Amino acid sequence: MFKPKALALALAMTAAVFSGASSAASPQPSVVIVHGAFADGSDWGKVVPLLQAEGIKVTVVQNPLTSLADDVAATQRVLNNQDNDVVLVGHSWGGTVISQAGTDKKVRSLVYVAAFAPDAGQATKDLGKEYPAPSGVKEIAADKNGFLYMTPQGMASGFAQDLPPEQTAVMAATQGPIRASAFDDKTSVAAWKGKPSSYVVAREDRMIQPDLQRAFARKIGAEMTEVDASHVPQQSRPADVAKVIIQAVRKAQ
């Protein structure tokens, strides 16, 4: 039979063990992905199952692509629905969106994938003017409604030149056109200034100059990974992109 002091000590030690176990088993961050222009959520269809296989909850934001404010609001709605902390991922135009939306207190870190990374007060259209225009942008066309889209030829040769024609044809048909004026919208904050970041550079990108991507990565102090891929490494190199995101989740846990 335990003496009172011995019993009290045993109970205290048991409580400490369970407390430590609970702390060690803190919930795993979820992943929220913001797609870019000329795409929709299906653009991430190859990466999502790789993350889910690791037990990671994933949600892809369906951007309206009507303005920076609208896309940030769509992202914020998804963030509001997350029970745990979040690793926020942005591709291309989505990098501008996460730079604004990433200040949310749930966001632990940011992952930029061949993405813009503006500072506060910058518009996407003003980024990279000191670099040669990438060849793929000449295939961006305007419709009668003030929206921009990639031509089928541009999707095949400039946006996703490392994917088979059958796939780029589907991407051209399912793309999300973006309102032209969205590129004029300026961010008011730069979330990367207060959050750790990772950056995936696409070495064969014909939409955002690879050297500009490297400059973004250096500017935001990101851990940089380079892959031999077009503007959509999430499509042509999904395992490499998933690896970077998984590492970010593990570090944020």
Q: 212: which 2 tokens?
A: 């500009």
- Residue 64 and residue 181 in contact, taking contact as beta carbons nearer than 8 Å: no
196 lies in some domain: yes
d(CA 101, CA 71): 9
Q: Does residue 10 belong to any structural domain of this protein?
A: no
The pTM of this model reads 0.90
Q: Check whether 109 has a pLDDT greater than 70.
A: yes
- Measured in residues, the chain has a length of 253
Helices (H), the chain: 4-24, 48-52, 68-80, 93-101, 152-154, 165-174, 210-219, 233-236, 238-252
pLDDT one-digit tens code per residue, 25-41: 579 999 999 999 999 99
Residue 14 lies in a domain: no
Residue 15 located in a structural domain: no
pLDDT at 25: 54
What is the pLDDT averaged over residues 4-18? 47
Range(s) of the domain holding residue 147: 28-118+127-252
CA 76-81-84 angle, to 5 degrees, is 105
Q: How far apart are CA 164 and CA 135, in angstroms?
A: 19
Side chain identity at residue 147, one-letter code: F
The chain-wide mean pLDDT, for the chain, equals: 92
| One-letter amino acid for residue 37 of the chain | A
Q: Could you tell me which of 249, 208, 199 has the C-alpha nearest to residue 98?
A: 199
- Would residue 155 count as lying in a domain? yes
Question: pLDDT category, 3, cuts 50, 70, 90?
Answer: low
Residue 113 and residue 90 in contact, taking contact as beta carbons nearer than 8 Å: yes
CATH of the domain at 212: 3.40.50.1820
Strand partners, 18: none
Spatial separation of the C-alpha atoms in residues 164 and 155, rounded to whole Å: 11
Amino acid 1: pLDDT: 47
What is the rounded CA–CA span in Å between residue 27 and residue 49? 20
The answer for residues whose C-beta is within 8 angstroms of residue 195's C-beta and 6 or more apart is 102, 107, 108, 109, 110
Report how many domains make up the chain: 1
Task: Tell me which H or E stretch contains 28.
Answer: none
219 in a structural domain: yes
Please report, for residues 12, 38, 61, 79, 200, the alpha-carbon distance to residue 27 in angstroms, rounded to integers and kept in the order given. 25, 34, 22, 16, 26
Is the predicted pLDDT of residue 2 greater than 70, yes or no? no
The answer to whether residue 148 sits within a structural domain is: yes
CA–CA distance, 99 with 50 (Å, rounded to integer): 25
Percent of the chain with pLDDT strictly greater than 70: 90
- In a domain, residue 5? The reply is no
